[in-house]
Amino acid sequence: MDNKNGTRTFLQGSEACVEAALIAGCRFFAGYPISPANEIAEHMAAHLPKVGGIFLQMEDELASIGAVVGASWCGVKAMTATSGPGFSLMQETIGWAFMTETPCVIVDVQRVGPGTGQATKCAQGDVMQARWGTHGDYTAVSLCPNSVQEVFELTIRAFNLAEKYRTPVTLLTDETTVHLREHLVIPPLESIEIVNRKKPKAGEQVFFGLESVAPMPSIGEGFNVAVTGSTHDEKGVRFTADPVTHRRMIEAINNKIRKNLDDIVQVESYNIEDCKVGIVAYGITSRAIYEAVEEAEKRGVKVGYVRLKTLWPFPEKPVQKLAENSEKIIVPEMNLGQIVNEVKRVAGYTEVVPLNKIGGGELITPEEILEKILKETK
C-alpha cells in the first residue's frame, strides 16, 4: 500500500479489522464459520495468503483458538474471530493462553444470546464473559471500538498490547460495528506504532512469570522451551501441587497487567470535571451519547461522559472522577446490566442508573438516552 500521506477509504468494519491486523503484522488466522463474524474470516482468507500468511478454517472454535496459540509460539502474530457461541467454546483455551503468556488476538463480534439467541442481531451481552469467561485468576484485556476507524485503531492496539504484555487480548465488538460502512483514514504506515514481543538472548532460560514480562522464545530456535498451562516455574517446569510456585506465577501474570493500567486503559471523556449527570458507555451504544449530550445541553443540563475504549481492565479512575463530579450516572448497555455493576463498584455514593435494551439488534437511540437524562434530572 502506497500511502505517504495516509489513505482515505470507505470500508466495512470487518474489512478495517483485517486491514489493521495485516498492518499490525498478523500472519496467521484460524476460525470457524459463525455470524456475524464471517466477513472477517472471509477477508482474511482472501488477503492473508497474499502477504505470505496462513489462513485455516478449522473443525471448530476449540481447534481455531488452539491453532492460534500454536502459531504464536512459532513467533507469528495470530488472530481468530468469532461470536458468542464460539467465544464460549474458546474459553478454556483462552485461559491456557493466559497461563502460558501467549500473545494473540480474539475478535468477538457480539450477537444476541444466550444460546443461539438471535444469530445475526447486535448485542453487548459478552462483556462479563470477556472478563471472567475462563476459570481461575487472571486479568483480562478487552478493547471496545465504536466506529470503523476505531475498529482499525484498536485492532492494531490489540496486537500491540498482546505482544507487549504477552497476553491474549479480546477485541470486543458487535454485529453493527463490524457491518457498518464508514470512512476510514489509514495513516502513513511509518507513523503507525507496531510492537513486537521481547525475544530472549542466546542462553537465556527464564521465559515465564515475570512482572516485567519475560522474553518469549519461539519453537525451533533452540531454547528447548517447555510450554504448559499447568502451574509452572520461570523455566516452564510443572509444579502441580506447590502453593508458593502457583502464587508467584499467578501474581506475576496478573501484575504485569494491573501495574500498567496507565498504559493499557484508554477512554474518551467529556466534562467529567463538572456535570450534573454522567454517562458511561461503550461500543455501538456509545455512538448514541454524543447527540443525546448535545440535546441535553441545549436544554440546559450539563452532561459529562466516559466512553470506554478499554473495557477490561475496567477504567476505574476516569469513572471514579465522573462519579465524584456528577449527581447521577446513566449506563446504557445492550444487555440486562453488566458494566453497570462495575460503575456501581467505583461510584461511591453517586447514584448509578441502568438503561438497558435487548433483542432484535435494536440499538439504544439518542432519544432514549436524552429522555433518560431529562427524567433523571427532573
The DSSP symbol for 253 reads H
Site string for another protein, 35-74 (x = CB under 8 A): --------------xxxx-x-x-xxx-xxx-xxxxxx-xx
Q: Which stretch binds another protein (CB under 8 A): 142-150, 219-227, 336-344, 350-358?
A: 219-227
Q: Which residue has the cell 481461575?
A: 136
226-285 residues near another protein, rule: CB under 8 A: 226-230, 232, 236-238
CA distance 215 to 199: 5
89-108 residues near another protein, rule: CB under 8 A: 92-93, 96
Report in angstroms how near the CB of residue 192 gets to another protein at its nearest: 21
CA distance 300 to 370: 12
How many residues touch another protein under the rule CB under 8 A: the total is 42
70 vs 215, beta carbon nearer another protein: 70
Q: Does 136 bind another protein (CB under 8 A)?
A: no
CA distance 279 to 288: 11
Q: Which residue has the cell 503507525?
A: 192
46 vs 336, beta carbon nearer another protein: 46
Do 15 and 149 form a contact (C-beta atoms < 8 A)? Answer: no
Q: Which residues are within 8 A (CB) of 5 and not within 5 positions of it... i.e. 6 or more apart?
A: 188
Report in angstroms how near the CB of residue 70 gets to another protein at its nearest: 4
- Start-to-end CA distance of the chain, whole Å, equals 54
Report in angstroms how near the CB of residue 289 gets to another protein at its nearest: 41
Q: Does 313 bind another protein (CB under 8 A)?
A: no
* Integer angstrom CA distances of residue 51 from 27, 55, 72, 198: 8, 11, 17, 23
User: Nearest Cα to 268, choosing from 139, 372, 144?
Assistant: 144
Q: Largest Cα–Cα distance in the chain?
A: 69
Report in angstroms how near the CB of residue 346 gets to another protein at its nearest: 35
Report in angstroms how near the CB of residue 1 gets to another protein at its nearest: 12
Residues that bind another protein (CB under 8 A): 28, 30, 49-52, 54, 56, 58-60, 62-64, 66-71, 73-74, 76, 78, 92-93, 96, 219-220, 222-230, 232, 236-238
